[in-house]
């Protein structure tokens, strides 16, 4: 499933809400390894949202898909395929590729 920027932000918000409302005194005991997994999942969601927003901002100022791909270790087509749908409103006509 390909997540859009909005999907990623929504998921980050859900995870943040869960983490902020978590109260260990309510009896939920989380083993250390599960806690680390929860933290890693939260960081990954936040990082994914931040990356998607950074791509959108780079596209908004005219950064090419080739340059974005180079930075992310992808080719231009791969970068556009992964992040293009969520950035269509930011795609300058003179820098479409």
Q: What is the pLDDT of residues 14-68, one digit of tens each?
A: 888 888 887 767 666 778 888 888 888 888 888 888 999 999 999 999 999 999 9
Which pLDDT does position 54 carry in this prediction? Answer: 94
Which pLDDT does position 91 carry in this prediction? Answer: 44
CA torsion angle 68 66 81 71 (round to 10):
-30
Name the least confident of 17-21, 77-81, 93-97.
93-97
Domain ranges of the chain: 5-95
Residue closest to 82 by CA, chosen among 5, 11, 9, 13: 5
Which pLDDT does position 88 carry in this prediction? Answer: 52
């Amino acid at each position: 499933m390909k997540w859009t920027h909005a999907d990623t932000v929504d998921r980050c918000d859900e995870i943040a809400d869960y983490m902020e409302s978590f109260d260990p005194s309510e009896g939920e005991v989380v083993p250390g390894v599960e806690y680390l997994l929860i933290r890693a999942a939260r960081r990954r969601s936040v990082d994914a949202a931040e990356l998607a927003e950074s791509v959108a901002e780079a596209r908004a100022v005219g950064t090419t898909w080739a340059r974005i791909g180079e930075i992310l270790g992808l080719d231009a087509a791969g970068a556009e395929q992964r992040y293009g749908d969520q950035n269509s409103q930011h795609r300058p006509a003179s820098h479409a590729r």
